[in-house]
Structure formats: structure tokens, C-alpha cells
């Protein structure tokens, strides 16, 4: 099929829950994407912060190919070595004692909420309150959606999960007011993605840790988008010097294959028994072998330091753009938000026409989340394109 036929068929056969531009991508290499008409694009979206090693990474592709010829799926009724190897890597390089695997960030947050509820009920059956924050995005299933802030996502599907309270992000006083003895968990993104690329204030996450300890509640860090090297640290919460009780991961972990993970302490894990939660497809040998390749590449001091340096360079270059157009540049590592003084929709379309893929994080924030292997030369090219777009 040609481009027009593909787009027409998509509209006929696929449920229309996305508004897609009239582009059909066919392949990618490194930081570049290519469409059905042979056009080349710098990919500064990475499939929403997923393809951390870029497209078609040779080591990743070889591991996937080799594993596909050996074993792809047996379900979680049986042991496989790749699952254990990935779990070992995650536990030995984090605060956690155990890992639960699933298939997406939404599933990871759904599981985290379930685990917190069961943990809290061991001491007090009425301790069911979950505190979340303005601007937070945690997924679209009923539980994860219930702690997602934006009303347009939640209201069409109400009533949602009860006992959820929202507090203003980065407001210490209001957080103290919201978190009480009926709170079982507090869920927060160390760096909000969908909500506008908003990093937590340096003192905010340690304050949440203190409040959770005071009220015997669990602290959940949603690092689905900001975790695994994206911030310039292996885990974004390392920037704040504070540890959670539960952490959720997903997007970049398997380099483009579907995976999610919930990392948890022994204290939380001890209340969970066989049958409490499960997943048919989670952590199959194909996806976990791919994830181990991604993890090993990112979990290198030199790689992470390079991400932090390039992230700082990107922000510095973006600040050189017109102050008449740009209100703010913020983020951590290679997750950067450019707050414009206008809607980002025409900017995204114009950038795409010039060979640059970027996405939004709200109506006025441009989200830049390139593959972590991006070069400074490619950053310079992107900033030049944005300068041209904004000036016109």
C-alpha cells in the first residue's frame, strides 16, 4: 500500500483514539526516522521517551533476533533465565528487594496502587487514601487514571477509584495538609512528563518522604518516563537524594518492546502472595533479554555523565532562542520542556515539515526527549530548525 492507502485503511479499521499526522514511518536508524516517501527526520520524541538507544541498535537487534530463535514465550507459570537476569540487574542497582514485571507504565502504576492498598490494609482496613498531584500523569486504566490529574482524561470514565486526593505539585504546605493517617500511598513523578516537563523542587521529594514516614504511608515514584538514564542519573530520584518504597518503570526499559516493572522493598513485598497479581505476557524471555541489553548500556557512569552533559547543552542552546517566543526551558537530562508563548501545535507541524519530530507536553510546552545517544551536532541542527520555525 502507498501512504494514502495506509492512512485511509487506518481510518477505516483502527479505533480513532489518536490524531495522527499524514506521515507513514517505515524504518529508523540511530536518531533518524524515515517515511514511506524517503524523507529523513531527526527523532526528538523517541516514541515518547522509549527508544533510548535509538532505532535499530545493532547490539539490541542481535539480542532480539537470537532470542527469537530460542524462546519467546512460556508465560509466568515457568522459570526463564532472561527474566531472572533482568530482575537481578534492577534489584542490585536500586533501592529495591523485589521486582514485579508487567507490560506497560499504566500496568506498573496499577500494580503499585494494588500493592500499596494491600500493604496498608494489613494494619488498618480503612487506610485506603492515595495522594497524587496536579499535573501528574500515571496512565489510562481505571486505577492509574484515577491518580492522573487532567480532567479531560478522567471525567468521561467517572466514577473512578475512590479515595484519591490531589494536591498542588511542589507545594510543601498543601502536601502536608493532604497526607494524613488514612493515606496508604503517595504517588509522584520526580520529573513530570505529560504534565509539562516539570521537575520536582529539590526539597519537595524529601518532604514527601518525611510525610510518608510520619503517617506510615508508602512513597511511590513514577519513573516511567523520567527513569533509566533519561535524567542523567540511572534513576531520577537520585537527583534528590531520597528513596521510595515503590518505583514504576516502563518506557525505555526494553528499547521499544513492551515492558513495565514495579520495584519494591522487602517490607511491601512481604504482604504479597501467589495469586495477588499476574500477567500472561509480562517479562517473556524475548523482551527481558532486550531489556538487559538496554540496561547494561545505560548503566555505565560514562554513558550517564554524557546524557547529563548533553542535556545541559541542549537547554543552554534552547535558551538562545527568541525570548519573545520562549517563556521557559526546564527539565532534567534529555527530558526537556520548552514553554512557548503560543500553542505548540503549529510549531510541531512546521518542525515536522523541516525534518524534525517533536511532541507536546500540554498546550504550550514543546517536549524534547531524543534518544540518549544523540550528539551535540544533532542538537545544534535541531535548535537551528526550531529557530527557523519560531522566526517564521
C-alpha cell of residue 357? 519530530
Place of cell 503560543: 342
Q: Quote the pLDDT of residue 269.
A: 98
Q: Quote the pLDDT of residue 361.
A: 97
Q: What is the pLDDT along the chain (392 residues), one digit of tens a residue?
A: 999 999 999 999 999 999 999 999 999 999 999 999 999 999 999 999 999 999 999 999 999 999 999 999 999 999 999 999 999 999 999 999 999 999 999 999 999 999 999 999 998 999 999 999 999 999 999 999 999 999 999 999 999 999 999 999 999 999 999 999 999 999 999 999 999 999 999 999 999 999 999 999 999 999 999 999 999 999 999 999 999 999 999 999 999 999 999 999 999 999 999 999 999 999 999 999 999 999 999 999 999 999 999 999 999 999 999 888 999 999 999 999 999 999 999 999 999 999 999 999 999 999 999 999 999 999 999 999 999 999 98
Strands (E), the chain: 25-29, 32-35, 40-43, 98-102, 129-133, 164-167, 183-188, 191-192, 198-199, 218-222, 246-249, 260-264, 326-332, 335-340, 356-357, 359-360, 365-368
Burial of 329 (0-12, 13-18, 19+ CB in 10 A): buried
Q: Quote the pLDDT of residue 91.
A: 98
Q: How far is it, in rounded angstroms, from Cα 377 to Cα 392? A: 23
What is the set of domains in the chain, with CATH numbers? Answer: 3-57+301-391 (3.90.1150.10), 71-298 (3.40.640.10)
Q: Quote the pLDDT of residue 292.
A: 98
DSSP state of 191: E
Q: Quote the pLDDT of residue 196.
A: 97
Q: Quote the pLDDT of residue 377.
A: 98
Helices (H) and strands (E) in the chain, counts: 14, 17
Amino acid at each position: 500500500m502507498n501512504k494514502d492507502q495506509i492512512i485511509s485503511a487506518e481510518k477505516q479499521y483502527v479505533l480513532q483514539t489518536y490524531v495522527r499526522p499524514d506521515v507513514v514511518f517505515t524504518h529508523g536508524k540511530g536518531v533518524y526516522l524515515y517515511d514511506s516517501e524517503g524523507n529523513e527526520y531527526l527523532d526528538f520524541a523517541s516514541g515518547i521517551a522509549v527508544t533510548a538507544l535509538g532505532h535499530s541498535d545493532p547490539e539490541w537487534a542481535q539480542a532480539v533476533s537470537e532470542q527469537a530463535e530460542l524462546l519467546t514465550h512460556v508465560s509466568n507459570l515457568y522459570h526463564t533465565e532472561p527474566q531472572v537476569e533482568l530482575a537481578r540487574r534492577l534489584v542490585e542497582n536500586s533501592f529495591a528487594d523485589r521486582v514485579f514485571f508487567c507490560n506497560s507504565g499504566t500496568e506498573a502504576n496499577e500494580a503499585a496502587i494494588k500493592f500499596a492498598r494491600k500493604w496498608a490494609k494489613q494494619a488498618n482496613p480503612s487506610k485506603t487514601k492515595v495522594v497524587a498531584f496536579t499535573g501528574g500523569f500515571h496512565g489510562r486504566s481505571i486505577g492509574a487514571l484515577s491518580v492522573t490529574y487532567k480532567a479531560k482524561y478522567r471525567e468521561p470514565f467517572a466514577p473512578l477509584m475512590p479515595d484519591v486526593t490531589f494536591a498542588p505539585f511542589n507545594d510543601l504546605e498543601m502536601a502536608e495538609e493532604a497526607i494524613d493517617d488514612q493515606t496508604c500511598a503517595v504517588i509522584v513523578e520526580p520529573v513530570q512528563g505529560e504534565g509539562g516537563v516539570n521537575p520536582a523542587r529539590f526539597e519537595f521529594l524529601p518532604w514527601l518522604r518525611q510525610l510518608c514516614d510520619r503517617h506510615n504511608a508508602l512513597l511511590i515514584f513514577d519513573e516511567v518516563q523520567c527513569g533509566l538514564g533519561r535524567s542523567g542519573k540511572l534513576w531520577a530520584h537520585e537527583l534528590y537524594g531520597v528513596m521510595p518504597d515503590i518505583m514504576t518503570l516502563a518506557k525505555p526499559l526494553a528499547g521499544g518492546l513492551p515492558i513495565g516493572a514495579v520495584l519494591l522493598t522487602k517490607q511491601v513485598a512481604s504482604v504479597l502472595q501467589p495469586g495477588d497479581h499476574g500477567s500472561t505476557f509480562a517479562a517473556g524471555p524475548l523482551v527481558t533479554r532486550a531489556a538487559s541489553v538496554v540496561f547494561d548500556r545505560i548503566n555505565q557512569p560514562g554513558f550517564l555523565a554524557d546524557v547529563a552533559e548533553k542535556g545541559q547543552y541542549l537547554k543552554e542552546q534552547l535558551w538562545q532562542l527568541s525570548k519573545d517566543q520562549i517563556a521557559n526551558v526546564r527539565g532534567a537530562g534529555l527530558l526537556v520542556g520548552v514553554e512557548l508563548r503560543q500553542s505548540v501545535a503549529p510549531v510541531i507541524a512546521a518542525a515536522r515539515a523541516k525534518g524534525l519530530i517533536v511532541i507536546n507536553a500540554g498546550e504550550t510546552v514543546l517536549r524534547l526527549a531524543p534518544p540518549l545517544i544523540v550528539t551535540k551536532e544533532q542538537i545544534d541542527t535541531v535548535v537551528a530548525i526550531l529557530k527557523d520555525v519560531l522566526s517564521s
